[in-house]
Chain A
Amino acid sequence: MKKVFTCIICPNGCNITAEIDGENIISILGNGCDKGMQYVKQELTVPKRTITSSVLVENGIIPLASVRITDPIPKERIPDMMTYIRSIKVAAPVEAGFVIDPNALGLETKLIVTKSVPYERKQK
């Protein structure tokens, strides 16, 4: 069976055509590099994505700190990860790179803060 993929690994977005048999690639055309082959393999077995969002910050100069997971997770677990991220609240000051969870949802990915948010005393 022929299947067409858009590689999402880099901005080139190669249009890859693969002849596949179940989870096996018989032939592949259009991938600019080896990562395209890896991507197609992953799409055929467990499609994975990274995810970015933000968490609430208490007493920060802005109300949110952006976060991301450092490694891709199975696509179907994205809603669980969003629910988890939504439940998190951190206290300012928070530094970019701070690891909120070293193994988020047991999916072998860190959840890290991507923006430093300084502390701001709220006017009463």
Chain B
Amino acid sequence: MTEKHDVVIIGGGPAGLAAAVEMKKKGINDILLIEREKTLGGILRQCIHDGFGLIRFGQTLSGPEYVQRFIDEVDHLGIAVLTDSTVWTVSKDKVVTVMSPQGMRTIRAKAVVFSMGCRERTRGALAIPGERPAGVFTAGVAQSYINLHNEMIGHEVVILGSGDIGMIMARRLTLEGAHVIAVFEIQSIPSGLPRNVHQCLDDFGIPLYLSHTVTDIHGAGRLESVTVCKVDEKLHPIPETKQEWACDTLILSVGLIPENELSLDAGVTLDSCTHGASVDEFFQTDRPGFFAAGNVLHVHDLVDMVSIEAEKMADSVAEFLRDGFLPFCPLEVIVGKDIGQVVPNRVEGLHDVSFFIRSKGQQENCSIQVVQNGTVIASKKMRKMIPATMAEVKVKKSNFLDSSPLEVRIV
């Protein structure tokens, strides 16, 4: 038997929750929110540090407090939620197959929202050679052990990668009595936010070695040591610089990948820069009625921005359900000089639009420009740009010239 819902939202983390609440407020009553874990909240359940909510709520909250505000609203608004349930397939005609505690269910939707978030890159993704001992964790897994399951993961810790979660775990492990020996980062600049370098590493005297990487892993049973090398400008390890570091735990904080298997299943095209769906300014993918927001679309620095993005998307979903379609967006967005990624990938050219941008490397005293037909139609001066910090550039609707492509670039 096939059930029917107006909207199926896949993923009950910050993006899915904010989308569900906003859609309900826009008058969409038939929503089903699907979450694979036992409880809603996504990754924020384990992000017990504070610093969330400054933009969205004007105060600093821990992850669980931030997300509870949305969960309470979902409860209060009576939005249907299916937890402990994993979406198996999403067909091109919007039939969602989900494995739930009640068995397999098939749901036909008028619109599907992808809000599955992202996952961590692993040792496999980096192809670090060596033995395969216990004691090698991604930062998020380490965080889950310590913050959700009350399990300490080790004593002598090396961290590879200076992503925010890695640095936050460096502080957390130190506070819980572990010795964090060092953080190694292959790039020449930290990959997380500057404030985390300061409050998570500097405050606790944890050294950060830039342009260094782990090249070998040793240990029979449990991790015993890692080999670390300096890298050259091309990020190739320099063998003469090799050093052994004794440790029983290696934490990897080496990047996040939007989790898009279901999007691909539905025939959605991904963007090669963001690794999320290619979307227009309405957060609609190249398949009508399929939408994406949050970390499944592009990895954010701040959950506040995830919520805000998901709310904007929800407004478009409401419009789609009302009219049966959304306007065509003919203006393609081209990733120009020194730009790492841009969202959205297409715009209509009739409204004010915000572009969310990451630079490729570190840039100083530069400008982000949006160019159409050789004319700069928007520009924003930046004192400093780093890939870790997402920037926003607004284009006023009156500045669009015609329907030719837009190039976003840094000069």
A interface list, Cβ under 8 A from B? 6-8, 10-13, 15, 49-54, 56, 62-64, 66, 68, 75, 78, 82, 96, 114-116
Contacts and interface: CB of A to CB of B under 8 A. Distances in A.
Given A15-B384, A62-B148, A66-B147, A8 B65 contact: no
Nearest to A79: B175
A50 B49 CA distance: 9
A83 B60 CA distance: 24
Nearest to B204: A78
A11 B54 contact: yes
A49 B68 contact: no
A6 to B, nearest CB: 4
A13 B193 contact: yes
Given A8-B198, A49-B203, A68-B62, 17 more contacts: A10-B195, A11-B389, A13-B195, A13-B196, A13-B198, A52-B48, A52-B50, A53-B175, A62-B148, A63-B150, A64-B150, A66-B64, A78-B175, A82-B175, A114-B64, A114-B65, A115-B62
Contacts, number: 74
B198 A115 contact: no
Given A49-B199, A96-B64, A115-B68, A68 B384 contact: no
B149 interface: yes
B194 interface: yes
Interface string B122-160: 000000000000000000000000011110000000000
A64 B50 contact: no
Contacts of A56: 150
Contact of B195 (A11, A53, A62, A68): A11
Given A78-B175, A114-B48, A114-B64, A11 B193 contact: yes
B54 A10 contact: yes
A6 B147 contact: no
Contacts of A53: 48, 175-176
Nearest to A66: B48
Contact of A64 (B54, B147, B389): B147
Contact of B62 (A12, A49, A62, A114): A114
A16 to B, nearest CB: 11
Interface string B174-210: 0110000000000000000111111100110000000
Most-contacted residue by chain B among A7, A51, A62 (CB, 10 A) = A62
Nearest to A65: B64
Nearest to B168: A52
B24 to A, nearest CB: 22
Nearest to B68: A96
A15 to B, nearest CB: 7
A106 to B, nearest CB: 21
A8 B192 CA distance: 13
